[in-house]
């Protein structure tokens, strides 16, 4: 094996590692909360609960309705929405409470994540455990979190005007931003836990790293395509596999004008694209895994590569099952959770390969 160039990352002292380990654990806890947020958000969407609260009240809205008058007032506001008038006309108060609680807990969890991030951040700053580079990273993550709160309300607003469904563009942006926040926290936590090792520029390892980076980007694109599938309910059509109602390339692929609208508004094209990305990953990830077996990797790097392969198999199985059974709530929520777990595995692979 020939190494073209080797640079050494300075080793952290035991004292530095002891200080940064609690910060890494805190970030992993925040990642777990974001994971729960993604799952609850998926259930909220699948149960059409997201439009049950028609106001954005970051502070006042923390307190749920406590009296019958509170419920009557909220229900009357919901009566004015397109969703009630066009879809849920005649809904009882008890039925309204079911969708209300899903949206309420979704928003409440968002507030909990904000506090779980901000308060420890202030504590670590006060203890001078955060240097300037880390402080800038954490500040950036906090700003992304604030942006996500605004993006959530911007998404909900799109379903309160004329259309009883939220915009698929805003839904996808909301989902993508959640994954970006999760990725930033997860990556910083991994950096803090890793004490630093030699970073090789061996051509074989560099090629493998480029391969894994491409796979990570492709998985993120698949997540975004899944947002469009959810946004226009494309999963309720073409509930056959591997063909789409007898076609590998369905004839309705470009039925909308102008042509580019099909990639965002056409149920056929949106689902076809999602399937195509899944097929691509089903081919590339096993190839990547085989290449990783021949590379001089550490035990943790090999484990990460194998986990990526396993998670892809699980996720594809969940996706096919969700499609064939016409999007049952439990499977659909598991499929959304699986997307984040698959993305997590890809991030871990990338981090391990950068440290070989």
pLDDT digits 0-9 by tens, 242-272: 999 999 999 999 999 999 999 999 999 999 9
Q: Are 37 and 113 in contact (CB under 8 A)?
A: yes
Tell me: pLDDT of 336 over 80: yes
Confidence (pLDDT) at 153? 94
Tell me: pLDDT of 186 over 90: yes
Angle between helices 203-231 and 267-293 (to 10 degrees): 160
Place of tokens 């397109």: 82
* 274 annotated among ligand-binding-site residues: yes
Q: How many residues are listed for the chain in this entry?
A: 356
Residue 88's pLDDT band (cuts 50, 70, 90): very high
Place of tokens 């009630």: 84
φ and ψ at residue 244, rounded to 5 degrees = -100, 95
Instruction: For residues 81 and 77, give the distance between their C-alpha atoms in angstroms, rounded to a whole number.
Output: 7
Confidence (pLDDT) at 5? 40
Instruction: For residues 137 and 139, give the distance between their C-alpha atoms in angstroms, rounded to a whole number.
Output: 5
Pick from 13-17, 26-30, 176-180, 318-322: least confident: 13-17
φ and ψ at residue 56, rounded to 5 degrees = -110, 110
Instruction: For residues 272 and 188, give the distance between their C-alpha atoms in angstroms, rounded to a whole number.
Output: 35
What percent of the chain is predicted at pLDDT more than 70? 93
Asked if omega into 258 is within 30° of 0 (cis), the reply is yes
Instruction: For residues 89 and 96, give the distance between their C-alpha atoms in angstroms, rounded to a whole number.
Output: 11
Tell me: pLDDT of 4 over 60: no
* 335 annotated among ligand-binding-site residues: yes
Q: What is the rounded average pLDDT of the residues 29-42? A: 97
CB atoms closer than 10 angstroms to residue 11: 11
Q: Are 205 and 301 in contact (CB under 8 A)?
A: no
Mean pLDDT of the chain: 92
Residue 320's pLDDT band (cuts 50, 70, 90): very high
Bridge partners, 247 (sequence order): 244
Confidence (pLDDT) at 118? 97
- The DSSP code for 67 is S
Alpha-carbon separation of residue 152 from 58, 104, 144, 174, 254 (angstroms)? 12, 13, 12, 6, 31
Helix (H, G, I), strand (E, B) or coil at 52: coil
Residue 13's pLDDT band (cuts 50, 70, 90): low
Q: What is the largest CA-CA distance in the chain?
A: 75
Spell out the residues 6+ positions from residue 48 whose beta carbon is closer than 8 angstroms to its own: 83, 87, 99
DSSP string, 143-211: HHHHHHHHHHHHHHHTTSSS-SS--HHHHHHHHHHHHHHHHHHHHHHHHHH----EEE--HHHHHHHHH
CB atoms closer than 10 angstroms to residue 333: 22
pLDDT tens-digit series, residues 107-140: 999 999 999 999 999 999 999 999 999 999 999 9
Helix (H, G, I), strand (E, B) or coil at 248: coil
Confidence (pLDDT) at 355? 84
Residue 73's pLDDT band (cuts 50, 70, 90): very high
Residue 194's pLDDT band (cuts 50, 70, 90): confident
Residue 48's pLDDT band (cuts 50, 70, 90): very high
Confidence (pLDDT) at 162? 87
Tell me: pLDDT of 6 over 50: no
Residue 9's pLDDT band (cuts 50, 70, 90): very low
Instruction: For residues 167 and 230, give the distance between their C-alpha atoms in angstroms, rounded to a whole number.
Output: 10
Q: Which two tokens stand for residue 328?
A: 């049952």
């Amino acid at each position: 094996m020939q190494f073209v160039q080797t640079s050494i990352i300075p080793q952290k002292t035991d004292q530095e590692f002891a200080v940064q380990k609690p910060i890494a654990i805190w970030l992993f806890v925040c990642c777990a909360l974001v994971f729960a947020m993604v799952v609850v958000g998926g259930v909220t969407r699948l149960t059409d609960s997201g439009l049950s609260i028609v106001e954005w009240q970051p502070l006042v809205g923390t307190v749920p309705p406590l009296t019958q008058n509170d419920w009557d007032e909220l229900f009357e506001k919901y009566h004015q929405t397109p969703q009630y008038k066009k879809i849920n006309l005649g809904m009882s108060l008890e039925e309204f409470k079911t969708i209300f609680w899903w949206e309420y807990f979704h928003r409440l969890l968002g507030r909990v994540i904000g506090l779980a991030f901000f308060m420890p951040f202030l504590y670590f700053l006060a203890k001078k455990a955060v240097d300037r580079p880390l402080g800038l990273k954490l500040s950036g993550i906090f700003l992304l979190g604030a942006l996500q709160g605004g993006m959530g309300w911007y998404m909900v607003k799109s379903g309160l005007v004329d259309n009883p469904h939220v915009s698929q563009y805003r839904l996808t942006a909301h989902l993508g931003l959640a994954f970006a926040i999760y990725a930033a926290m997860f990556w910083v936590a991994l950096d803090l836990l890793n004490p630093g090792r030699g970073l090789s520029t061996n051509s074989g390892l560099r090629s493998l790293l480029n391969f894994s980076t491409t796979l990570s980007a492709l998985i993120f694109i698949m997540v975004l395509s899944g947002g469009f599938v959810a946004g226009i309910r494309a999963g309720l059509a073409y509930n056959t596999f591997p063909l789409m109602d007898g076609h590998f390339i369905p004839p309705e692929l470009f039925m909308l004008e102008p042509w580019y609208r099909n990639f965002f508004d056409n149920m056929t094209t949106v689902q076809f694209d999602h399937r195509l990305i899944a097929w691509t990953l089903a081919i590339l990830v096993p190839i990547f895994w085989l290449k990783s077996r021949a590379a001089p990797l550490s035990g943790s790097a090999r484990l990460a590569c194998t986990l990526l392969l396993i998670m892809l198999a699980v996720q594809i199985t969940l996706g096919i099952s969700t499609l064939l059974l016409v999007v049952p709530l439990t499977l659909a929520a598991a499929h959304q959770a699986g997307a984040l777990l698959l993305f997590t595995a890809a991030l871990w692979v990338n981090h391990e390969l950068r440290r070989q």
